[in-house]
Structure formats: structure tokens, C-alpha cells
Amino acid sequence: MFLSELPSKQKAKIIKIINKASEEDYLSHFGIKSGAIVSIERRTLFGSTLKILVNGKYLMLRKKEAQLIEIEKVL
Amino acid sequence: MKESGVRYIKIAMCGEQNVGKSSTINKITKSNLDVGNFAGVTVDKAHIAIQTERKGKKYILEFIDLPGINCLIPHSDEQKITSDFLSNKDNYDIILGVFNATQLENDFHLFEELVGLKAKLLPCFNMIDELAHKEDLSKLEKDLNDLSEKFHTKFAAISAKTGFGIEKLLDSIIELDEQEKPKPADELIFYKTVVDHCKSYRDALHKSHRVTYLIDNILLNKFLGLPIFLFIMWNIFQLSFKASQIPVDILDSFSSISEVWFTKSLPGFLDLASLLACVSSSMLLVVSFIPTLAVMFLLLAIIEKSGYIVRVSFLLDGILQKFHIHGKAFIPLMLGFGCSIPAYISSRIMKNYHERIAVMIGIGFMSCSAKLIIYTMLIQIFFPVEYAGTILFAIHFLGVMIGLIIIKLSRQTFLQGESEMLVMEMPRYRMPGAGYILFYVWEKIKHFLKNIGGIIFVSSIILWVLSNYPNYGGGDPLIRLENSFLGMIGQATEFIFRPIGLDWKMSIALEAGLAGKEMVVATMNVLYSAGQGGIHAIASQISSASALSFMIFCLLYLPCISATITFAKEAKSKKYVIILIVLTTVIAWLASFITYQIVS
């Protein structure tokens, strides 16, 4: 499944990022890389922007970009 | 290995994979001279040497980047390279053990093994910036320094990402090279203590996030977030208007008194008295801007420094997407309420060139604090005071809306292109220290007084000369003004402004405003109070429809010269500067025309 589909407050592990290498590099600067544990903390009214928690940091990310991040739920 | 007067130190970099060994080397060597990769048997090792000088002594530091390892017993060919290299002590003088500061406990075993090699070992804690916030970093570093002194060991706390601590790392390498190897037992206890210490920082970081989390529950609430933001902005304008009221009242009475006073005290030098009255009232005008600006700068600074500005980017991202820019753009746009110059510079956070230019064009429509002074003055004269805050809010809102529409249109026409990815860290909230904020506001005010004060001083003299000559002397002051140089310039350009309800004096004020928007009020002060004293004289000379049209024109027309120059520098293209000039002028004229026609 993809990060954009993850219900709020649920933890998941990033498996891979389906993106151009340059963008993957950009995301990894923020700690968004395979293996990292991520959760969605908040969505805006129309759900177009997400506030996520990764590596103890809060980041904002667009739904569009979250659709490219493949994850698996962590129980 | 010693060369004449130069100490050559070989440093073996090792640590687990992904702890930032290579990025540390990259950070160190970026600003240095000698970079070389030597291919050979050991293809996986990279040797990079730099030259440096400490206390008059020259050093060559050669870094050997080794493949990542978990322990010294190799599990793969790459790891074998590392363990073989480390087992021959002639290969290096110092081992630089790179560890991830946010998870030091995982690396204790490796550290123990490295200590067991009995070589000089410098533990280097990377990603220290992820462990503590900027303001806590120096305290963390000091704590670690105290520990290292206690155990007679050396260490380095760095961030290969930001470059924090890199210079100190080089110092530590050289110091360690010159001293005896510490006792292994001390090294181990030092590392263990650091682990506990770093853990406490990590916990504190999470705790501080909890407060932020609670605040965000309200400020980022799906339904309340935007109304709260709009309410905060409305209050900012309400407060800055309140701050502007007192000084303008004082100023009014002062300018009428000053002219009489100068005339009385300088009998026989009427021209000098009139010049002094003109300059002094202009200078007082500058001083009278201070409370409004101080309130505006103070409130904007709190929003910016507390971390709220990033939250608003988050809230507005959905709306801004509709205008083909992303939430990040809110930051330069918001700074435009203060002054366009820092706003243009801060638009550098937008990485996509076309998107950035679109935002920069939009910044011109965000009403800057100098324009705020124009509105507060005219609102006090022409409109009911109880609506002042709301009128100010409405004017700024209009600017934002027009700015956004222009951004959207330009993104659809001459500034097309994909929007960049939006990833932005939301820092925890922190209350900026009162001392820091006051200093910040004071610096801005000082800058304003120094620059604008000077400009207004000189130009008020020029304005006085232009408004009194060539027909200096007796006669009706108003007729004299009309026949002055300034009157001639104003009347020559009046035809442009007549359809939007502005007389030649207002035209002059707008033209003078190109030098700096503060000049608009200063010019009006000189022109309208001629012979009558007091800026309130303006009410008898223009209609409120003209005043409104004038405010709209001020809101939308070309930013001042210095801002336009900054725009040109940042945009690096003449084409966009011309577009900016034409767009702002045409839109300002059209909007004022529509306003004037409807209202009158």
C-alpha cells in the first residue's frame, strides 16, 4: 500500500520510493527513505496535504508525493 | 611520515554503513585544496587529503574512507577490506570512528572493538543536529566537552549535513595526534556516559514535541485552523492601526505650531523659517511611523520565529495549489507585508525557477509596511475610525487576492511548469526570547530611521525648493504652489491620473513614492499642508472616492526602486523586470479606475 492510503496515527515502514533518483535523494534528506518508520499525524480539510512523523520529526508532505511512497503497516 | 615542517596525519574513517562517513569527508574537503582518488588494489577505499594550518604549523590530513562495518569480523569482501586495513597499524595514525548520535547505543560493540585495536581513536558523533534543536546544540556540545575533559579523551560532535562542528573535528584530530593515547577503560566509560547523555536529549526532544502537538491540535485543526489564522491577521492590522493613531494626532498639532514658531523666531528669514518648518515636520513624520512599524515588525517576527509561519503554509497549501504554487510560497508572500526586499530574497526557498518568479511577481501586490503608513493616515482622515482595522485588513486581503490571481495567470501563461515537491520540516514551537525579538525589531527600526530618515530629510529639502520656486515670494500660497516646478511636473503628468480621480498633487506623491513608499506621505504632507498647516487640510481638497482610489493605486503599483533592483538581482532576467513594471502599473491603474468609477 502507499503512504497516502495509511489511516492517521498508524505506524508503517517505508519499503520503497517510486520516483526519480533525484527526488528520492531529496526525500532522503528529510529521513524519508526505505526502512524508516512513518505515521500520518494530520491531514488538511480536503486531505491534499499531510503532516507526517518520521524519525521523530514532523514534516509536511503533499498527498501527491505520498502516493509514491510504498509502505507496509507495522503492528 | 614527516615532511619538512609539515605534519602528515593519516586518518582511517570507519563506522557502520549510513552513518555519514562519506558525507563527512565531502563536507571537510569541499572548501579545501587537494582532492584525489587513487585507484589500485583497494578500489573501494577513497583517499582524500587536505592541507590545513593550526597555530602556525602546517598539516596534511589524509582521510581514508573505508566501507561500512558492523564489527571487525568481516561478513563480506568489502568489510574485509576495512578489517584488513585496520589490522595493519602502519596504514594510519588515527582512527576516526563515525557514529550516529541518535542511536549511539547500537554502536557500542563496534566502539569496544575499535578501542581494542589500541590505536588512537577519535569518536565522531554525527547527525548531532537531529538530537538537539539549534538553540540546545551549544549546551549539548559543552556537556560533551566536560565529559571528555573528565575522562581525558577527545571527541567530535558534528553534523555532516549542516557543517556544524567540522572545524572543531579537525582541531581534535590534530590535538589527538599530539597527545598520548587515553586509557582504554576511560574511553569506554566516556562512550557509555555519552550514550546516556544523548538519550536524555532525545527524550527531551520528544517531550518538547508533545507541547507542540497540543498547540497544533488547535492551530492546525481542520475546521478552526484557517479562521484562527484570519482572526490573528485581522488583529495584527487592528493593533498596528491603534499604534498609528496617537503620533499622527501629535504630529498634526506640531506641524501647525512649528511653522508659526519658526516664522516668529526667525523674523526677516521667512524662507529659512518655512524650509525649517517643512523639514522638521517631515522628520517628525518619519518618527511618527515608528509605533506602527514597531507593532507590525513585532507581530510578524513572532509569527515567523515561533514556527507558526510553517503551519500556515501547511493550512494554505491546498488553496495555493489551486494557484499553481505550493504552501512554502506563503513564507515570502507573508514577509512581503513587512518589506518586499527580504521577501524577494526569502523566495529562494522555492527551488523551481518559474514558480519562484511567479511568487516574486505576487510579492509586489502584498502591501508592505511603508504602504501601511499611507493607509493609516488616509483612513484617519476619511473613514470612521471604528472600521479602520477592518478596512486595513480588507485592503491587504485585496492585495493578496490580486497577487494570487496574477500568480495563477502567469503560471498558466509565461511561467508554466511542474510545481516542485513540497517537503518541509515543521519545527517545534518555541517562544522567541523577548530580548532577541526586541533586538530584531530595534534593528529593523534603526535600519528604517537610517535609510528612510536620510532619504526623507534630503528629499523634503528638494521638495520644498521645487514647491516654492521659481515664484518664491508673496501671493496666495496655493496659486504659488501650482506655478512651482513641482506644480508644473504634476500638471504635466496629471492626465494619467485624472481618470482615476487623482489631482496633480497626488500624482506627484505617487511618483515620489517610487523612491520609497514612505515618500508618499512625506510628499503629501508638504503639498497639502502648504499655507494651511496640518495634514488634515487634505480632507478639504480631495474626496473620499479619490482617497480610496489613491489607496488602491498605492497598494498595487510598482514596488519602490530598491525593491525593484532586488527583484532584478534575484530574477536575473530583464524580461521579468519589464513584466513586473508593466503588470503592476496597468493593474494598479485599472483597479483604481474601477474603484473610483463605482464609488463616485
- Give the residue from B192, B207, B204 showing the smallest Cα distance to B132: B204
- CA–CA separation, B187 and B198 (whole Å): 16
Q: Annotate B223-253 with DSSP letters as a single string.
A: TTHHHHHHHHHHHHHHHHHHHHHHHHHHHHH
User: Residue B256 in 3-state DSSP?
Assistant: helix
Return the half-sphere exposure (C-beta side, CA atoms, 13 A cut-off) of residue B273: 15
**Across the interface, do B423 and A59 touch by the CB < 8 Å criterion?**
yes
**Across the interface, do A58 and B209 touch by the CB < 8 Å criterion?**
yes
Give me the residue label for grid cell 485581522. B234
Residues 155-174 of B with CB under 8 A from A: 161
**Across the interface, do A27 and B313 touch by the CB < 8 Å criterion?**
no
Q: What local confidence, expressed as pLDDT, does residue B402 receive?
A: 95
CA distances in angstroms from B585 to B500, B552, B588, listed in the order given: 13, 12, 5
pLDDT interval class at B33 (50, 70, 90): very low
Task: Determine which of A5-14, A43-52, B11-20 has the lowest per-residue pLDDT on average.
Answer: B11-20
Contacts of B422 in chain A (CB under 8 A): 49, 60-62, 65
Task: Determine which of B181-195, B271-285, B305-319, B507-521 has the lowest per-residue pLDDT on average.
Answer: B271-285
ipTM: 0.92
Contacts of A57 in chain B (CB under 8 A): 130, 425
On whether any CB of chain A is under 8 Å from the CB of B420, the answer is no
- CA–CA separation, B557 and B364 (whole Å): 8
Per the CB < 8 A criterion, the answer to whether B251 and B525 are in contact is: no
Per the CB < 8 A criterion, the answer to whether B328 and B348 are in contact is: no
Closest-CA distance of chain B to residue A46, Å: 7
- Give the residue from B180, B187, B183 showing the smallest Cα distance to B112: B187
- CA–CA separation, B498 and B491 (whole Å): 10
Q: What local confidence, expressed as pLDDT, does residue B231 receive?
A: 92
Q: What local confidence, expressed as pLDDT, does residue B40 receive?
A: 24
Residue B533 predicted with pLDDT over 90: no
Q: What is the pLDDT of residues A16-57, one digit of tens each?
A: 888 766 677 778 767 788 888 899 989 988 888 999 988 777
Per the CB < 8 A criterion, the answer to whether B371 and B584 are in contact is: no
Residue B8 predicted with pLDDT over 50: yes
Per the CB < 8 A criterion, the answer to whether A24 and A5 are in contact is: no
Return the half-sphere exposure (C-beta side, CA atoms, 13 A cut-off) of residue B285: 30
**Across the interface, do B318 and A51 touch by the CB < 8 Å criterion?**
no
Q: What is the mean predicted confidence (pLDDT) over B326-352?
A: 83
Q: What is the mean predicted confidence (pLDDT) over B573-580?
A: 93
Most confident region among B140-154, B215-229, B253-267 by mean pLDDT: B215-229
**Across the interface, do B216 and A44 touch by the CB < 8 Å criterion?**
no
Per the CB < 8 A criterion, the answer to whether B121 and B94 are in contact is: yes
User: Residue A8 in 3-state DSSP?
Assistant: coil
Phi, psi angles (nearest 5°) of residue B476: -65, 125
Q: Kindly state the DSSP code that residue B183 receives in the 8-state scheme.
A: P
Q: What local confidence, expressed as pLDDT, does residue B355 receive?
A: 92
The grid cell for B112 is: 569496544
Contacts of B216 in chain A (CB under 8 A): 42, 51
Interface test with A, best of B202, B421, B425, B429 (most A CBs within 10 A): B421
On whether any CB of chain A is under 8 Å from the CB of B222, the answer is yes
**Across the interface, do A60 and B321 touch by the CB < 8 Å criterion?**
no
Residue B595 predicted with pLDDT over 50: yes
**Across the interface, do A44 and B424 touch by the CB < 8 Å criterion?**
no
- Mean pLDDT, all residues of chain B: 82
Q: Cβ contacts of residue B597 below 8 Å, gap of 6+?
A: none
On whether any CB of chain A is under 8 Å from the CB of B210, the answer is no
- CA–CA separation, B323 and B330 (whole Å): 12
CB atoms inside a 10 Å sphere around CB B251: 18
The grid cell for B495 is: 492626465
Residue B299 predicted with pLDDT over 80: yes
Q: What is the mean predicted confidence (pLDDT) over B264-285?
A: 73
- Smallest CA–CA distance from A29 into chain B, residue: B161
Q: Which residue among B130, B223, B422 places its CB closest to the CB of A60?
A: B422
Return the half-sphere exposure (C-beta side, CA atoms, 13 A cut-off) of residue B553: 28
Q: What is the mean predicted confidence (pLDDT) over B65-91?
A: 80
Closest-CA distance of chain A to residue B200, Å: 14
Closest-CA distance of chain B to residue A62, Å: 6
Per the CB < 8 A criterion, the answer to whether B451 and B562 are in contact is: no
CB–CB contacts below 8 A, A to B: 75
Task: Determine which of B16-20, B220-224, B341-345 has the lowest per-residue pLDDT on average.
Answer: B16-20
- Smallest CA–CA distance from A41 into chain B, residue: B213
Cα torsion A25, A27, A31, A34: sign: negative
Instruction: Report which secondary-structure segment, H or E, holds B25.
Output: helix B21-30
pLDDT interval class at B472 (50, 70, 90): low
Q: What is the mean predicted confidence (pLDDT) over B504-515?
A: 86
The grid cell for B193 is: 556516559
**Across the interface, do A51 and B161 touch by the CB < 8 Å criterion?**
no
Q: What local confidence, expressed as pLDDT, does residue B39 receive?
A: 23
Task: Determine which of B254-268, B431-445, B549-563 has the lowest per-residue pLDDT on average.
Answer: B254-268
User: Residue B45 in 3-state DSSP?
Assistant: coil
Amino acid identity of residue B209, one-letter, is H
Q: What is the mean predicted confidence (pLDDT) over B205-225?
A: 83
Give me the residue label for grid cell 571528555. B148
- CA–CA separation, B363 and B383 (whole Å): 27
The grid cell for B438 is: 526586541
Using a pLDDT cut of 90, give the percent of chain B over it. Answer: 19
Residues 432-471 of B with CB under 8 A from A: none
Residue B423 predicted with pLDDT over 70: yes
Q: What is the pLDDT of residues B80-116, one digit of tens each?
A: 888 889 988 888 999 999 988 877 876 788 888 898 8
Task: Determine which of B350-359, B447-456, B500-509 has the lowest per-residue pLDDT on average.
Answer: B447-456
Instruction: Report which secondary-structure segment, H or E, holds B212.
Output: helix B184-219
Give B492-525 as a 3 state SS string.
HHHHHHHHHCCCHHHHHHHHHHHHCCHHHHHHHH
- CA–CA separation, B319 and B225 (whole Å): 13
Q: What is the pLDDT of residues B217-229, one digit of tens each?
A: 999 998 999 999 9
Return the half-sphere exposure (C-beta side, CA atoms, 13 A cut-off) of residue B299: 21
Per the CB < 8 A criterion, the answer to whether B177 and B164 are in contact is: no
User: Residue B5 in 3-state DSSP?
Assistant: coil
Q: What is the mean predicted confidence (pLDDT) over B453-467?
A: 80
CA B581 to chain centre: 24
Residue B592 predicted with pLDDT over 80: yes
Q: What local confidence, expressed as pLDDT, does residue B268 receive?
A: 64
Q: What local confidence, expressed as pLDDT, does residue B138 receive?
A: 81
Interface test with A, best of B100, B331, B423, B430 (most A CBs within 10 A): B423
Q: What local confidence, expressed as pLDDT, does residue B43 receive?
A: 37
- CA–CA separation, B372 and B366 (whole Å): 11
